[in-house]
């Protein structure tokens, strides 16, 4: 038995009719129908999808109606505290807008391998998934994907969007049909602040970040990275904070990366293809 699902999307290429959304919005869909603010409905075809990053690209015939692509901002320049707006289809209430601020950047969550979440208190409810998180200039800074309802069925101000840089990099791979999709490493990181803990791990006089989760089947796990390893270098970058490393890993998503780790105070160099 089939079922209907609602979501949102963003036009990223008007000439080609390309729209970005979340993978979980169109997952297992037998038919994808796009509704526009003009009241026009049209069937869309799936170009490709990357479930690891929760991004999908669909296509509508651009000759059927005029489209306008949303301008895209560099999410690496987004800072906490700026005002943002969520646009989408919450609970089927189409073309709704909610507002808030960016609460934090470069979040990692322990139930997803995505390494570059934007946290916002702007309401993200069921149906907002795949829609735009925009700045005050009307530019896309993220694709809304997750909202914590606290078990109440609605937004409690703890919501997350995939950064525009990661979303667009993923979309570019999908559109070009590349087999080398930008899969995340599949790790969660944690800053180590307590001096006693840093001494115990052998990083009292150097920077290091703990790898708290390694997702099975992802790149880091396949390369031999383990939960509990301490990351002391990423390529030539010293991991001062997990936010710094999250930004760097997002920028090189899908590329080979060399990690220097401490495991039981012994240093290892591991290349992740």
Q: Which of 23, 48, 52, 54 is catalytic?
A: 54
Taking the C-alpha atoms of residue 250 and residue 163, their distance in angstroms, rounded to an integer, is 9
Strand ranges in 71-216 using DSSP code E only, listed in sequence order? 83-88, 96-107, 117-120, 132-134, 140-147, 159-163, 187-191, 209-214
Check residues 241 and 170 and name the one with the higher pLDDT: 170
Instruction: Tell me the per-residue pLDDT of 109-145, one tens digit each, with 9 for 90 and over.
Output: 766 777 778 999 998 888 899 999 999 999 999 999 9
Q: What is the pLDDT of residues 144-168, one digit of tens each?
A: 998 765 555 556 778 999 999 989 9
180 pLDDT tier (thresholds 50, 70, 90): low
Of the candidates 31, 28, 70, which has an alpha carbon nearest to the alpha carbon of residue 171? 70
pLDDT at 260: 94
Judged on CB neighbours under 10 Å (0-12, 13-18, 19+), 195 is exposed
Provide the pLDDT for residue 155.
61
Catalytic entry in 8, 75, 98, 129: 129
Told to judge if 106 belongs to the known catalytic residues of this protein, a careful annotator would answer: no
Q: For residue 54, indicate whether it is catalytic.
A: yes
178 has a pLDDT exceeding 70: no
Which domains can be identified in the chain, with CATH numbers? 10-64 (2.40.10.10), 75-176 (2.40.10.10), 187-272 (2.30.42.10)
Question: Which of 24, 94, 121, 227 does the annotation list as catalytic?
Answer: 24
């Amino acid at each position: 038995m089939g079922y209907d699902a609602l979501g949102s999307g963003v036009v990223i290429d008007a000439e080609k009719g390309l729209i970005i959304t979340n993978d979980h919005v169109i997952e297992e869909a037998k038919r994808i129908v796009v509704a526009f603010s003009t009241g026009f409905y049209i069937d869309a075809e799936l170009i490709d999808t990357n479930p690891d990053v929760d991004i999908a690209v669909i296509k509508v015939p651009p000759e059927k109606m005029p489209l306008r692509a949303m301008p895209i901002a560099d999410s690496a320049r987004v800072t906490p505290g700026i005002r943002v707006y969520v646009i989408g289809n919450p609970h089927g209430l189409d073309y709704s807008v909610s507002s808030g601020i960016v609460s934090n950047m470069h979040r990692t969550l322990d139930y997803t391998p995505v390494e570059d979440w934007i946290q916002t208190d702007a309401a993200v409810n069921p149906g907002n998934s795949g829609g735009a998180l925009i700045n005050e200039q009307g530019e896309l800074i993220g694709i809304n994907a997750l909202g914590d309802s606290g078990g109440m069925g609605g937004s409690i101000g703890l919501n997350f969007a995939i950064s525009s840089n990661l979303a667009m990099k993923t979309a570019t791979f999908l559109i070009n049909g590349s087999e080398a999709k930008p899969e995340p490493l599949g790790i969660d990181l944690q800053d180590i602040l307590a001096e006693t803990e840093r001494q115990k791990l052998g990083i009292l006089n150097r920077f290091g970040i703990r790898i708290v989760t390694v997702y099975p089947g992802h790149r880091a796990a396949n390369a031999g990275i383990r939960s509990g390893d301490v990351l002391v270098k990423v390529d030539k970058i010293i991991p001062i904070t997990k936010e710094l490393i999250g930004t760097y890993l997002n920028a090189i998503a899908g590329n080979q990366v060399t990690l220097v780790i401490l495991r039981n105070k012994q240093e290892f160099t591991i290349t992740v293809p």
